[in-house]
Structure 1
Amino acid sequence: MNKIIVGSDEWCNFPQLKIPAVKARVDSGARTSSLHAVNIVSFNREGTPWVSFEVHPLQNDGKTTVHCEAPLFDKRKVKSSNGATETRYVIKTPLTIAEYTWEIELTLTNRDSMGYRMLLGREAMGGKMLVDPNTECLLGEPSIEELDQYYALHTNEKTGLKIGLLASDPSLYSNRRIIEAGQERGHEMEFLSVKDCYIKLDGEAPEMHYRGGRILKGFDAVIPRIRPSVTFYGSALTRHFEAMGVYTLNSASAITQSRDKLYALQLLINNGLPIPTTGFANSPLDTEELIKMVGGAPLIVKLLEGTQGKGVVLAETKKAAESLINAFKSLKANILVQQFIKEANGKDIRCFVVNGKVVESIMRTAAPGEFRANIHMGGTASITKISAEEKRIAILAAKTFNLKVAGVDIIRGSNGPMLLEVNSSPGLEGIEGASEKDIAGKMIEAIEKDLKYVRTND
C-alpha cells in the first residue's frame, strides 16, 4: 500500500471494537499505541484469556461509553510520558484509517489526564505512514452531527447509582468482582486509584481531584478498600469524600480504628468480646514477664502493622520467644505478644459481615507446616456452620468499629470461641470460591439499602 501522509492528530476507527471514531495523537516518539480504557477486567472464554473494558471515545465526555471485549494478547510494563511504569493489558485489533485497515497492538490504560483518548505509536505506523507534524486531521474529521449519530446508542442516561471503588490494584479478584457486581445491578462503577487521588481543602467547596486535574464529582457512594501500607492516605481520602457528602460503605474512622491492632483489641475487650490473652510492653527488661503473662511458650508475636498473616510469628520455646521479642524491640518495632491456642489446630473461621448480618462463614485450614490459616499462604477454605455465640461475636465485633463490611476471624478454643482480628477490607476470593455466593453483590445491596435506592427492574 502507498504510505499515508498524516498530521499530528487523526481520527481512527476500530471496527471490531465497534468504535467508529476516536481522535488519536500521532506520536512517532512513542513505541506502543494506547487506548483510553476503564473498568478493565480479564476473564476466560472457552479456556482462552480475554479482557473486557469500557471506552469513553470522546474527550471530556464521560457519558458516551462503548463496552468492548477482545482476546488478551499480552501483559507488559510500559513507561508513560511522565516516567511512571505500569503493567498494561495488550490487545490486537484492526485499525482503519482513511481507506486502509491493518492490525495493530494496543495497550489499555486510563488516559483521563492526557489530551487525547488514543496515542498512535511508531510500531503501528511502521512502513505505512509519513507524519507531517505541522498539520492536523489531514484525512478529515467527523462533524458533531456525525459523532452524535455514531454514538447515539452509547450515551448512558443515569439510571443507577454512581459508585467509586477506592483501592490500589484494579486487577485484584475482590476489586474486579465488586465492579462486576455493581455493573450487573445497573450502576455506574469507576475504579479510583488511591495514589492518583488528591484533595482540595476548602470550607465552602471541598473537592477531590484525580490525576490530570479531573474533579471527581457526582458520586453517590464510595467503597474504600484501603491497603494497610496506605492506611493514612486512604483514610484521609475516605474522610474527604465523607466531607463532600458522599456515602462511604466503611467510614474513615471505622477503618483507622480497626487497623490499630492494640486499640482494636482494647475496644473489643471493652465490649465484652473474648480474645486470646495479649501482652504489650516497651522495655526489653519486661520480656520474661511478658511471656509469663500470656501463659508461656509457645506464643504468638504480632507486628502491630502486619496484615493477612504477615508479621505474625510463632515462637515455640521460651528461648525463641525471648530472642524474637528482643530482636523486634531492638528494631523499635511495636509488637503484641499473644496466647497460642493450640487446640485450634491451625484452623480459624472467617465470618463475612455486611450491614449487621453474617452473610457467609468459612473454615480456613492452614497449609502443612503452617500454624496460621491463610489462603494466601497455601491454606484451604470450606463452608462451615457457626454457632449462635460465634454469630453474636462476629456481629458485635463489626458493630464495635461501626464497620458496614467486615471480615471477622474467630478461633475455637477449649473455653469457647475467641476473636482474633477484624478486617475492614476483607478479601472475596476465598469466601466466594468456597460458598459460590455473590458476596460482592451483598456489598452493593448494602449501599442500595442505606441510600434507599430502588431498582427499577425489580
Structure 2
Amino acid sequence: MTEKFIIGSEEWCSLPELGLPAVKIRVDSGAKTSALHAFNIHCYDEGGKAYAKFDVHPIQNNRKIIHRCIAPVVDRRVVRSSNGEVEKRVVVVTPIKLGDQVWDIEITLTNRDSMGYRMLLGREAMQNKVLVDPDAVFIVSDISGKEARNLYKLHVSKKASLNIVLLASDPDLYSNRRIMEAGELRGHNMKFINVRHCYMNISANEPTVCYRGGEILKSIDAVIPRLRPSTTFYGCAVTRQFQASGAFSLNEAVAITRSRDKLRSLQMLADKGINMPITGFANSPEDTKHLIKTVGGAPLIVKLLEGTQGVGVVLAETNKAAESVINAFKSLKVNILVQEYIKEAKGKDIRCFVIDGKVVGAMQRVAADDEFRANLHLGGVAAPVKLTPEEKKMAISAAKILGLKVAGVDIIRSDTGPKVLEVNSSPGLEGIESVSGEDIAGSMIESIERHVLGKE
C-alpha cells in the first residue's frame, strides 16, 4: 500500500485534465462522494463512450472566470446533500493533483453556487491515499486568491462588442447582476439604466433617450427591459423610444404590455387554443354569483389583473367567501379575474424559461405549508422537474403568441392535462439557475448576439 500523506481541512488542488489549475476544496470525510461546481451540463456519446461537457466558475464569488470542461461519464448517481436534498447527478472520472500526488477520482457534478467551496473532497477519493488533520489548512499548497485568478486566462470573446442597456430599477437584484456579469463576460459594454431616471426627446428626425444629468444614451445596440409592474407604462414608453432609435429590444414593448395585462394575454392564448384554467371576468357586482358559477364554483382563485409575484391573489374556499372577496375588490374599483382552482396540483406549478422559441430551463415550485400559491417570493421551494413534450410545446407556443423572445411561462398540471396560468415578461433568474444549473443569463446575451450580430 502506498504511504499516506497528510492534508488539511482546506486545500488548493488542480484538476489537470479538466484544465483547472487551482480549485479550493473543502476536505470532508463525512461526505461519501466528491462534488464539483458545474453548470450547463450536457452529456453525449462519442465513439461508444459517454462524456459530459460542462462549465465551471473555478474561483468562488467570481463569475467572470469561466472554463469549459469535458470528462468521461462513469455513472449517474442519486446523492443526498448536506441540507437533505436528493439529486440525481452525473459522475465523471478525472485525475486530481494535491502537491506532488496525482490519482484518479470520481466527482459528481452539481451547482454549488450557494456553497462555500467550489469543490468538496469526499472520503471515497481519499481512501488509501491521505490522512486529514482537521486543525490544519493548506498543508499541501497555499496560494492567494489573486495567484489563483492569475492562473486562469479570461477568455474574452473576439466577436464585436455590443453596447447593451439593462433597463430596470434595482442594480443589486440577483437577476440584474447576473445579466450584467454575463454580458461583460462575453466582452460587451453593459450599462445599467434606472428606468425612472430616463426622459425622452420624441421627434421624427432624431428620437433619443436621455439619462438623469443630461447624458444622451446613443449608439445603443440592444436593450434588455426588466420592468416592475409599477413601471410598466413608463418603462414600455422608454423601451419603444430605444427601439425607435434603432436598438434591438430583447422583449419588445408591445409584447411586455400584452403579458402584463392578464386578461388580454389569456384572451390571446385562448384564441390560439392554449389550455388554461376556466377564467371569468365581469364588471358589475350584480353579476358576481353568475361569475362564480361560470368557473365551477368555490373553491376558486381571485386575482388582480396586474398583480405579480403572488401579490393580489386570494383563494376563496366557499361561494359566500368568494362573493365577499370579489365585491370587496370591485368596491375598490380594481379589475380582477376569477379562476377555477386546480385542487389536484396540490400547491405546485412549473416555471418554464423560454428564450427564442426554446425551453432553456425549468423548475417546479412547491408552495409553503400555509400557502396555496407556488411562488418563491411567498416562501415556496424550487425543485428540478422533467417536462413532458406537451408542456415544452405549450410553453414555447405561449411565449410566441404574446411575441416574447424571453418569457417565464407558468404551467399547472391538472387531471385534464397541463394548463398555462400566466406568462411573465421579466422572469427571475435566481431560482431557475440554481435548480437547473443552466446559465440562463448567458443564454439571454447569446440571444442578443444572434439577433444583432446575425450569428447562428
The letter of the residue matching 1:388 is P
Query: For 1:415 and 1:198, how far apart are their aligned partners in 2?
Result: 49
Deviations 1:33-91 (CA, angstroms, capped at 9, x unpaired): xxxxxxxxxxxx979xx9x9xxxxxxxxxxxxxxxxxxxxxxxxxxxxxxxxxxxxxxx
Partner of 1:370: 371
SS in 1 for 2:213: helix
Quote the Cα distance in structure 1 between the aligned partners of 2:60 and 2:177.
Answer: 20
Kindly provide the amino acid, as one letter, of the partner of residue 328 in structure 1. Answer: F
Q: What are the Cα deviations for residues 84-121 of structure 1, in whole angstroms up to 9, with x where unaligned?
A: xxxxxxxxxxxxxxxxxxxxxxxxxxxxxxxxxxxxxx
For 2:358, the equivalent position in structure 1 comes to 357
Output one character per residue of 1:368-413: Cα deviation in whole Å (capped at 9) or x when no partner. Answer: 1100101111111112111111111100000001100000000000
Residue 240 (str. 1) matches residue 241 (str. 2): yes
- Residue 418 of structure 1 corresponds to 419
Letter in 2 for 1:174: S
In the alignment, the residues of structure 1 paired with residue 307 and residue 328 of structure 2 have an alpha-carbon distance, to the nearest angstrom, of 16
User: Quick one: distance in 1 between partners of 2:160 and 2:293?
Assistant: 61
Q: CA deviation at 1:171?
A: 0.5
CA offsets 1:274-322 (integer angstroms, 9 cap, x no match):
1100111111111111111111100000111201111111001111111
Match of 1:330 in 2: 331
Q: Which residue of 1 aligns with 2:300?
A: 299
Equivalences for residues 7-22 of structure 1 within 5 A: none
Within-5 A mapping of 1:44-55: none
The alignment partner of 1:450 has SS state of helix
Q: What does residue 178 of structure 1 align with?
A: 179
CA distance in 2, matches of 1:343, 1:46: 42
**Alpha-carbon separation, structure 1, partners of 2:315 and 2:286:** 21
Amino acid at match of 1:224: P
Residue aligning to 2:23: none
Find the aligned partners of 2:384 and 2:183 in 1 and give their Cα distance.
25
Give the deviation of 1:435 after TM superposition: 1.4
**Matched residues in 2 for 1:440 and 1:386: separation?**
21
Counterpart Cα distance in 1 of 2:212 and 2:326: 43
Moved over 4 A (4+): none
Query: Does 2:378 match 1:403?
Result: no
Structure 2 CA distance for aligned equivalents of residues 453 and 161 of structure 1 = 13
Give the equivalent residue in structure 1 for 2:437.
Answer: 436
Post-superposition Cα deviations, 1:101-143, rounded to whole Å, max 9, x if no partner, equal xxxxxxxxxxxxxxxxxxxxxxxxxxxxxxxxxxxxxxxxxxx
Return 5+ residue gaps in structure 2 as ranges: 1-58, 65-157
Deviation at 1:202, TM superposition (A): 1.0
Partner of 1:256: 257
Percent of aligned pairs sharing the same letter: 64
Q: Structure 1: state its 5+ residue gaps.
A: 1-44, 53-156
**Can you list the C-alpha shifts for 1:159-215, whole angstroms capped at 9, x where unaligned?**
411100000000000000000000011111000110111100111111110011110
CA distance in 1, matches of 2:280, 2:300: 11
Tell me the distance in 1 between the aligned counterparts of 2:318 and 2:398.
32
- Secondary structure at 1:351 match in 2: strand
Q: Which residue of 1 aligns with 2:340?
A: 339
1:450 corresponds in structure 2 to 451
SS where residue 453 of structure 2 aligns? coil
Question: By how many angstroms is 1:452 displaced?
Answer: 2.5
| AA in 2 matched with 1:294 | V
1:266-305 paired onto structure 2 within 5 Å: 266-305=267-306
The equivalent residue for 1:218 is: 219
Q: Separation in 1 of the partners of 2:160 and 2:415?
A: 53
Aligned equivalents of 2:444 and 2:396: distance in 1? 16
Q: 1:139 — aligned with what? A: none
Query: What is the DSSP-based 3-state SS (H/G/I as helix, E as strand, rest coil) of the residue aligned with 2:183?
Result: helix
Look up the match of 2:165: 164
Q: Which residue of 2 aligns with 1:207?
A: 208
Structure 2 letter corresponding to 1:440: A
CA distance in 1: counterparts of 2:166 and 2:332, whole angstroms: 36
Query: If the length of structure 1 is used for normalisation, what is the TM-score?
Result: 0.65
**Is 1:385 the equivalent of 2:383?**
no
Aligned-partner Cα distance in 2 for 1:46–1:372: 34
* SS, match of residue 205 in structure 2: coil
**In structure 2, what is the Cα distance between the partners aligned to 1:400 and 1:46?**
40
Distance 1:275 1:437 in 2: 28
What CA deviation, in whole Å up to 9, does each residue of 1:205-241 have, x standing for no partner?
A: 1111001111001111000001111100000000011
Aligned-partner Cα distance in 2 for 1:373–1:200: 43
In the alignment, what sits opposite 2:80?
A: none
- Scaled by the length of structure 2, what TM-score is found? 0.65
Q: Distance in 1 between matches of 2:435 and 2:363?
A: 7
2: CA distance, partners of 1:244 / 1:296 = 50
State how far apart, in whole Å, the 1-side matches of 2:455 and 2:356 are: 17
CA distance in 2, matches of 1:167, 1:320: 38
| Alignment of structure 1 residues 68-79 onto 2, 5 Å | none
Residues 46 and 423 of structure 1, relative CA distance in 2, 3 Å threshold:
closer
* Pair 1:317–1:195, CA change in 2 (3 A): same
Provide the rounded CA distance (Å) in 2 between the counterparts of 1:214 and 1:333: 38
State whether residues 360 and 438 of structure 2, in contact with CA within 8 Å, keep that contact through their aligned partners in structure 1: no
Distance 1:198 1:296, change over 3 A: same
* Aligned pairs, number: 305
* Residues in 2 aligned to 1:46 and 1:223: alpha-carbon distance in whole angstroms: 27
3-state DSSP of counterpart to 1:451: helix
CA-based RMSD of the aligned residues comes to: 1.9
What secondary structure, in the 3-state scheme, does the structure 2 residue paired with 1:448 have?
Answer: helix
Counterpart AA for 1:345: K
CA distance in 2, matches of 1:207, 1:278: 41
In the alignment, the residues of structure 2 paired with residue 170 and residue 379 of structure 1 have an alpha-carbon distance, to the nearest angstrom, of 24
In 1, Cα distance between the equivalents of 2:306 and 2:404? 19
